[in-house]
């Protein structure tokens, strides 16, 4: 059920194309790329600001997401998708989103998409599993959104620990699905950002 977000109260949002939410993911969806689908299906740019997601626990996982789209309808469609899954959504205070993050989200949102050339390459779907460290200085950069929107990769977050303390780095166990070229380009993108990866 969506709490604090409705189609009738969109006028209370500071920026009509930006929302800051917390989603609680039930255990039955732990194997599903929910965040990745929000990006690919609804053309949203998402930064994961904080997360606690552990497949081996009985507790629901959660993500704090900073979401931006080209129009309000994109955001609403994404929220409807979450509602249909039974994912609980809580509105967070937009004032906590730093200006740097808003700028980074807009850069990725308005960047030319690289996905068309990569999708033209035919190939068998490949799966890659690895762990990546997201340093605190990348907290406001939508790293995972770049994998999805620029390279057409489906990203499943298997485990995540990225707490709200801005002094700590974050850790994500990721599973990527795509053709071989997409995976290679996606890993190169992460390395170009200077991120540590363990395969």
User: H or E segment at 141?
Assistant: none
Cβ neighbours of residue 52 under 8 Å, at least 6 residues apart? 61, 62, 160, 161, 162, 163
pLDDT higher than 80, residue 57: no
pTM score, two decimals?
0.80
Check residue 112 and report its DSSP letter: P
pLDDT higher than 50, residue 8: no
Output the pLDDT for position 10: 33
Q: Which long-range contacts (CB under 8 A, 24 or more apart) does 116-119 make?
A: 118/151, 118/152, 118/178, 118/179, 118/181, 118/182, 118/185, 119/152
Q: pLDDT of 99-154, one tens digit each?
A: 666 566 555 555 555 555 555 555 678 999 999 999 988 888 899 999 999 999 99
Complete domains list, the chain, with CATH: 2-110 (3.30.70.260), 115-198 (3.30.70.260)
Region of poorest pLDDT, from 3-17, 18-32, 35-49, 176-190: 3-17
Using alpha carbons, select from 27, 135, 154 the residue that is nearest to residue 88: 27
Q: pLDDT of 21-44, one tens digit each?
A: 999 998 888 889 999 999 999 999
Output the pLDDT for position 55: 72
Using alpha carbons, select from 3, 185, 166, 6 the residue that is nearest to residue 96: 166
pLDDT higher than 80, residue 50: yes
């Amino acid at each position: 059920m969506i709490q604090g977000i409705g189609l009738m109260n969109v006028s209370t949002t500071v920026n009509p194309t930006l929302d800051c939410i917390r989603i609680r993911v039930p255990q039955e969806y732990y194997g599903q790329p929910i965040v990745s689908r929000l990006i690919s299906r609804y053309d949203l740019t998402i930064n994961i600001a904080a997360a606690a997601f552990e497949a081996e626990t009985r507790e629901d996982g959660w993500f704090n997401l900073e979401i931006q789209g080209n129009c309000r309808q994109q955001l609403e469609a994404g929220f409807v998708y979450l509602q249909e899954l039974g994912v609980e959504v809580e509105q967070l205070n937009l004032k906590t989103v730093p200006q740097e993050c808003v700028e980074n989200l807009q850069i990725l949102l308005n960047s030319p998409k690289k996905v068309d050339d990569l999708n033209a390459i035919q190939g068998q779907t490949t799966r890659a599993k690895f762990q990546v460290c997201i340093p605190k200085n990348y907290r406001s950069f939508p790293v995972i959104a770049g994998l999805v929107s620029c390279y057409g990769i489906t990203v499943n977050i298997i485990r995540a620990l990225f707490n709200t303390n801005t002094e700590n780095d974050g850790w994500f166990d990721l599973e990527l699905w795509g053709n071989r070229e997409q995976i290679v380009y996606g890993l190169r993108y992460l390395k170009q950002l200077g991120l540590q990866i363990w395969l």
